[in-house]
Structure 1
Amino acid sequence: MEFVLLGFSDTPNLQWILFGVFLLIYLTILVCNSIIILITKIDPVLHTPMYFFLGHFSFLEICYVTVILPRMLVDLWTQKGRISFLACATQMCFFLMLGGTECLLLAVMAYDRYVAICNPLHYALVMNHKVCSQLVAASWITAVPAVIGETGLIFSLPFCTSHMINHFFCDIPPVLKLACGDTFVNDIAFYVVAVAVVFIMVPFLLIVVSYGKIISNILKLTSARGRSKAFSTCSSHLTVVVLFYGTAIITYLQPKPDQYEEMGKLISIFYTILIPTLNPIIYTLRNKDIMMALRKVLAQLLV
């Protein structure tokens, strides 16, 4: 059994333009995130918990887009969109796994900023290398069992209405639309919502609480320069959080499923492709340490 990803088949005249644009975006994501990983490894100034997490986040972004973009580029090139049942399930599993990991890692990064700003005297003790490694490992591992179980339940449903997926990758809402079943479908929907709450809403609430305490602490500072410096260390991460969670919540927690048909592809392009493209730019342009490290690397290469 196989599915057909309709993707952008409704705009056949733009297939090659879209292929060129998405290929350029993919290469940009690979290069920019690889540069961040490299400079956080080789520059001693960046050997801190904040940049340790940023390096892992950049690696996660590469994995995240690689689950979606290469397959989409092949479909745009061949203009067929055929994907096997197993490949579709595998793509969904890895996409959800990496998405859940990103939610958890963003929460860990928010906690790191909370400790740095609200408890600076104990920061080195609390956020030691062992703790940082454990937090990263927990972010990667926690989502695995739930996502495998969720994907298994979804693809154990009978698909008898159609094999055409009106999307450019195997995401939950468009795949569930093709399933036919009675109470089991409702059980699946409940499970999906439960997982969305656990891996989207819970980390989001932790981030909100962390930044609530951070902002409260910053406002208590008497020095305007101190407040500006504290805000600048959080602004990049906060921007990424707002962009990622805003689109994810709209996609998976929207009240009317019909809205997905109208705006689903556009929103999905935003949080699966455009945000990972913007993230390296946000973190580099708004971070003096990374810009200085990048200049050092470029200077060494040009010598």
Structure 2
Amino acid sequence: MKLIFAGTPVFAAQALQALLAAGHDIALVLTQPDRPAGRGMKLKPSPVKELALQHGLRVEQPLTLKTPEAQALVAEVGAEVMVVAAYGLLLPKAVLEMPARGCLNIHASLLPRWRGAAPIQRAILAGDAETGITIMQMDVGLDTGDMLSIHALPIAANDSATTLHDKLALLGAEAIVATLARLDACVPEPQPEAGVTYAAKLSKEEARVDWTQPAAAIARAIRAYNPAPGAHTLLAGEALKLWQAEAIDGHGAPGEVLRADADGVVVGSGHGLVRITELQAAGGKRLAAREFAAGRSNLTGTVLGA
């Protein structure tokens, strides 16, 4: 098919790569403008732009799709379908109606659960047993369009947002190729009214660990906020980031480090214990618990968060 592809991060680049491999004609790629990154804050192209340029594709980076100029870019292509994956810009009604067969979105949840900005992290935070990919016919609402295909994926006990993202990126790439291949046979299915939840954007403040919460909830939060914004607490008044953890049985005062060894840094909570296996002190590198504990002989007995 003749397609327009709109996306920005790695999640979207995986889908673009799959569409190219499947032989689709990507007539235009839309992606976010280059952003400052790194210590030098030099402008850096998005992963989608980098991939598109490698394949000699036409790339446009409008600040909005609401202007006549931006809409003309879309209209002149005459695409059958626009595929959208984590693009980062709203598509106005005029743009949604331009491709002959509409705009399809690769959404990283089992709609209508977790509509919105952070479905991967919210699924982990909530303790969901599974998530997945929904290929959706886009409309003017927030992830409210009819569903064309649904692809479920179990959430593993040790999944972080990083690992789950990578699994869903691969699944999303496979799902959009499969859906386009049988698009004529797809019957759009309205989303059920029951079970709607919203995946609000993440904030740094919410990623601060509350040690009075149950251990299971704390461990999920640590995994959900990996890689961003990063679960954090205080160690002797200094910032401490927590990257990987699990809940285990036991009792301890909230925030108190009960032991620190090769198996992990074990901390009390409101119910149960949290075993942290990867940490990062302020100004330091991410370390396995073994390395982190080796340089801190007085860690046991410390109260985190104070």
TM (norm. structure 2) is 0.23
Q: Report which of the two structures shows the higher radius of gyration computed on alpha carbons.
A: 2
Higher strand share: 2
Tell me: higher relative CO, structure 1 or 2? Use CA pairs within 8 A at least 6 residues apart.
Answer: 1
Higher helix share: 1
